[in-house]
Amino acid sequence: MSPQCRRSVAVRVLALATVAVVAAGCTGTAASPPASPAADPAKDKLAQILARGTLVGYSELNYPPQSISVAGATRATNTKCLANQITAQEVTGFDIDTTKLIAEKLGVEACFVQPKWAEVTAGNWSDRFDIVYGSGAINAKRMTQLWMTQPYYYVPQRFLVAKDSNYQALSDLDGKRIGTCTSCTVESYLKGSLEIPGVDLVQKVKDPQLVGYETEAPGIDDLAANEIDAFLTAETVGLNAIKEGKPLRLLDEPAFAMYPSGFVDKASGLSVAAFVARVDEIIAAAHADGTLKALSMKWFGADYTTEAGAFDLSKLNQQIP
C-alpha cells in the first residue's frame, strides 16, 4: 500500500472514531458499561446474572393484568431456573413481560419467585432475587432500602366504589372504610406520609379508616361484597376488576399518580452499580423504540408509558457505589 493510501485509511479511521465519540456524547448521559469479562460473579450482581444465565424476578399470580399465571402452562424443560422458581412460560402480564424484556436484553433466562410484597419493600433480600417489577412506585420511604430504576410506566391511582353507591366526589369518602394494599404506596398516601420526589401531593380524603390487605384481590372482593366503602388502587387494576364483571365503578377524580419502577436491593451482598445502569439503559431504549408502549397497549389498551419515559431519574440523586 502506498504512503498516500495509508494516510487516507488513517484519516477515515480517525474520522469514524471521532463520529463514535460525538454520537456517544449526544445521548445526554454516559452509558455505563456492563460488567467486564473480568468482573467477579461473587462480587458483582450483573456478572453473577450473566454467569448463571438467569435473571430472578418477582411474580404475583393473582394481579391481572400485571402479573398472572398462564392457565394450563407447564414448567419449561431444560430450564436453568431453580426448582423453587417459576419459569417464564408459566407466567405473563405487563410486569412479567417487563422482567422478561430485561432478561432477553441481558441474554439470560427469566425466572420468577413469589415473596410477600412487604418482604420486597423491606429490602434485605439476601440475593434470593435480583429485581422486582411489581407495579411498585418510586417513593422516598422505599428509597431508604431500595434502588429505583428508570420508571417503566405512569398510572393514576383511583378509588373503586360499589356500582350502586352514592359516592361521587372524593370528599364523600371522608371518614369512610377504605381498603388498601399493605406496604403499598397508596397506603402511605392515605396515611398522609407519602413522599414522591418531584411530585406534589394533595390529601383529598380526610380521616379515612384504613383496612389493609396483603394484595389487592381480596380487598376488591370485600368491596364488591359491601364489606368496605371504597378501595384505592391503580386505575389499571380498577378497570380490570370492572371488566371482570364485579359490580364496581371508579370515581372520576384520581387521588394522585405514581411512577412504578424496578426495585434493586440496597443490601445486596454484591455490587449492583453496573446492573442498575444496564437496566436503566434497557428501559430507556424500550421507551424510545416503543416496546413498552406496545406492551401497555397489549395489556391495558392504553399508553401508560410515555410519561414515565420522560421522568428524570437524576432528580432522585441516587449515588450507587
**Contact indicator for 219, 237 with CB cutoff of 8 Å:** no
> Does residue 284 share a domain with residue 238?
no
Long-range contacts of 169-173 (CB under 8 A, 24+ apart): 169/251, 169/253, 170/204, 170/205, 170/251, 170/253, 170/255, 171/204, 171/205, 171/206, 173/205, 173/208, 173/229, 173/230
Instruction: Flag whether 23 is in a domain.
Output: no
In tens digits, the chain (321 residues) has pLDDT values of 444 433 333 333 333 333 333 333 333 333 344 444 569 999 999 999 999 999 999 999 999 999 999 999 999 999 999 999 999 999 999 999 999 999 999 999 999 999 999 999 999 999 999 999 999 999 999 999 999 999 999 999 999 999 999 999 999 999 999 999 998 999 999 999 999 987 889 999 999 999 999 999 999 999 999 999 999 999 999 999 999 999 999 999 999 999 999 999 999 999 999 999 999 999 999 999 999 999 999 999 999 999 999 999 999 999 999
Q: Between helices 45-52 and 273-288, what is the axis angle to 10°?
A: 70
Question: Which residues form the domain of 192?
Answer: 155-258
In a domain, 77, yes or no: yes
- Considering the domain architecture, whether residues 173 and 215 belong to the same structural domain is answered as yes
Please write the tens of the pLDDT for every residue from 104-142.
999 999 999 999 999 999 999 999 999 999 999 999 999
For the CA atoms of 279, 280, 283, 288, what is the dihedral angle to 10 degrees? -140
Do 265 and 283 fall within a single domain?
Answer: yes
Q: Mean pLDDT in the chain?
A: 90
Q: Does residue 131 share a domain with residue 75? A: yes
The reply to whether 39 falls in a domain is: no
The residue count for the chain: 321
Counting the structural domains of the chain, the total is 2
SS3 160: strand
Do residues 56 and 89 share a domain? yes
Per-residue model confidence as pLDDT tens digits over 64-117: 999 999 999 999 999 999 999 999 999 999 999 999 999 999 999 999 999 999
Between vectors from CA 64 to CA 206 and to CA 45, what angle results, nearest 5°? 95
Q: For residue 148, give the 3-state DSSP assignment.
A: strand
Given 213, 234, 258, which residue is the final one in a domain? 258
Shared domain check, 278 and 148: yes
Tell me how far CA of residue 47 lies from CA of 54, 200, 219, 239, 303, in angstroms. Answer: 11, 39, 41, 40, 34
Predicted confidence at residue 38, as pLDDT, reads 67
Is residue 131 domain-shared with residue 279, that is, in the same domain? yes
- Asked whether residue 280 is assigned to any structural domain, the reply reads yes
Name the maximum alpha-carbon separation found in the chain.
Answer: 89
Is the dihedral angle over the CA atoms 36, 41, 46, 52 positive or is it negative?
positive
Domain-located, residue 97: yes
Which CATH number characterizes residue 265's domain? 3.40.190.10
Residue linked to cell 406496604: 183
Type and span of the H or E element at 295 = helix 291-300
Same domain, 147 and 88: yes
**Residue 87: which residues within 8 A CB-CB, separation 6 or more?**
75, 76, 79, 81, 109, 111, 112
Going 204 to 208 to 213 to 217, the CA torsion angle's sign is: negative
If asked whether residues 147 and 160 sit together in one domain, one would say: no
Does 264 lie in the same domain as 149? yes
Residue 304 lies inside a defined structural domain of this protein: yes
Q: Which helix (H) or strand (E) holds 297?
A: helix 291-300
